[in-house]
Amino acid sequence: MSSNSKSIPIKIAKERVKKWQLENSNKNVNDDLIHAKAFLISANDLIDCLIEMEVLKDKSCINTSLVANASVRAYMAIDRAKGKIASADTERLVLVSTVKEVVNNKIIHRDIIEGYTLKNPPPYKLVGTGTFDFTKPCPSNCDTESPLYNP
């Protein structure tokens, strides 16, 4: 973790994620959630993005032995005080690192969060809480000319 990165308290992360899930927990006729709770993003995808943007020069400085088992999970969240009007500007992503684990031949990406005990923890020590929110929601922070803004 870089020295200027700051994790958010677990309590705040849980409040934001819970609020989103409470407001978006509708199910379809098959009893499946209509909205995703989170998204798993592979470390490889993140690294490739950073290389494409030239933030990283190449993969030579990456601990490649950890990349295949590493991902980031982005939980949908809301940062809005009780009684405030809902808007896109109050939606957030709570980001957590994960580590891959195999349980009964099934791959599970376990969240690396303070207070959550892992059977197979990663080979590094958690610094901070493990939960982050540096996101800025769109439409306030959008490229309105992007072909993905209004496809």
Domain boundaries, the chain: 10-132
Per-residue confidence band for 47, with pLDDT thresholds at 50, 70 and 90: very high
Average pLDDT estimate for 136-140: 87
Residue 29 has pLDDT above 60, yes or no: yes
Strands (E), the chain: 38-42, 70-78, 91-103, 106-111, 131-132
Q: Write out the two tokens for 40.
A: 């798993």
Cα distances (angstroms) measured from residue 71 to each of 122, 139, 148 = 12, 27, 24
Contact 79, 115 (CB under 8 A): no
Element (H, E) at 30: none
Give pLDDT, residue 3: 43
Mean pLDDT score across all residues of the chain: 89
Give pLDDT, residue 110: 93
Residue 4 has pLDDT above 60, yes or no: no
Contact 131, 13 (CB under 8 A): yes
